[in-house]
Amino acid sequence: DGGITQSPKYLFRKEGQNVTLSCEQNLNHDAMYWYRQDPGQGLRLIYYSQIVNDFQKGDIAEGYSVSREKKESFPLTVTSAQKNPTAFYLCASSRADRTDTQYFGPGTRLTVL
Amino acid sequence: AQSVAQPEDQVNVAEGNPLTVKCTYSVSGNPYLFWYVQYPNRGLQFLLKYITGDNLVKGSYGFEAEFNKSQTSFHLKKPSALVSDSALYFCAVRDMNSPLLTGTASKLTFGTGTRLQVTL
């Protein structure tokens, strides 16, 4: 997990609320990613960014939004439009190189009450 | 399209015995292959990767993986399992020849994971 921090570790949300998950990296990586993990489904890509002020939708972007104002930071907002937000959210980063490894943060577990 | 299959939801091994966690992949071009490990309520930790070259790749914590192009497999192995190896293991693939995502970020496709249980 070294070099990538996510906060908070646990987050509880009431239905209808937006919540923002933080992801910061000090690895000087250009590319950053958000994944959602559900039991038995592996990891699914929500959004990714390869440069400041640019980001693209992944496979399951509906109900989520992101920003990339700084190279080190890639926050994810889970909006009230996300129908089933309870999941484990993982942030990752890598160099902008097809051969490079993605390194992951420790994750945030979001629970909707 | 690229895909990964991990055919076993769980693998049970006695401590000291060899372990194998299976992974098969499908890509249109040549693959880049990765193994990650996840402990409970933690992020994924990188174990090893295959890019090119020697088919036997050595990684962290005594793990290794063998790339087999004809069988499109990349099985994870360890000669002697430890109780502390008990965790969730993910295989991932990236197609070397697939178009990059916007810019130079590129997409990893993950398997559904295999839970390894090592007992005394």
User: CA B8, B41, A111 angle in degrees (round to 5)?
Assistant: 105
Number of Cβ pairs closer than 8 Å across A and B? 77
Burial grade of A11 (CB within 10 A; 0-12, 13-18, 19 or more): middle
Which contiguous run of DSSP H or E holds residue A75?
Answer: none
Residues of B in contact with A5 (CB under 8 A): none
> What pLDDT score does B102 carry?
46
Residues of B in contact with A104 (CB under 8 A): 36, 43-46
Residue B97 has what pLDDT? Answer: 65
Instruction: For chain B, positions 42-101, list CB contacts with chain A under 8 A.
Output: 42-46, 49, 51, 90, 94, 96, 100-101
B80: nearest Cα among B67, B65, B61, B54: B61
Q: Please answer yes or no on whether A106 and B103 come within 8 Å at the CB atom.
A: no
pLDDT on residue B72: 96
| pLDDT digit string, tens, across residues B44-66 | 999 999 998 899 999 999 999 99
A2, pLDDT greater than 90: no
Mean pLDDT of chain A: 92
Q: Other C-beta atoms within 10 Å of B58: how many?
A: 10
Q: pLDDT-based confidence at B24, cuts 50/70/90?
A: very high
Q: Say what percent of chain B tops pLDDT 90.
A: 75
Rg of chain A over all Cα atoms, to the nearest angstrom: 13
Residue A1 has pLDDT above 60, yes or no: no
CA distance B54 to B62: 17
Q: Which chain A residue is nearest to residue B47, measuring alpha carbons? A: A101
pLDDT band at B114 (very low <50, low <70, confident <90, very high): very high
pLDDT in tens, A33-61: 999 999 878 899 999 998 899 999 998 99
Closest chain A C-alpha to B107 CA, distance in angstroms: 8
Residue A76 contacts residue A7 (beta carbons within 8 Å): no
Residue A32 token pair: 């950053």
Q: Residue B95: what pLDDT?
A: 76
Q: Is A39 on the interface with B (CB under 8 A)?
A: no
Model confidence pLDDT, tens digit, residues A61-85: 999 999 999 999 999 999 988 889 9
Which residue in the set B42, B46, B104 is minimally distant from A97, CB to CB?
A: B104
Distance from CA of A106 to the nearest CA of B (A): 4
Q: Residue B99 pLDDT > 60, yes or no?
A: no
CA distance B45 to chain A (A): 7
- Are the Cβ atoms of A42 and B105 closer than 8 angstroms? no
| Residue B103: predicted pLDDT | 44
Taking the CA of residue B71 and the nearest CA in chain A, the distance in Å comes to: 22
Distance CA A55, CA A62 (A): 14
Q: What is the CA radius of gyration of chain B?
A: 14
Distance CA B101, CA A100 (A): 14
- What pLDDT does B101 receive? 52
Average pLDDT, chain B: 91
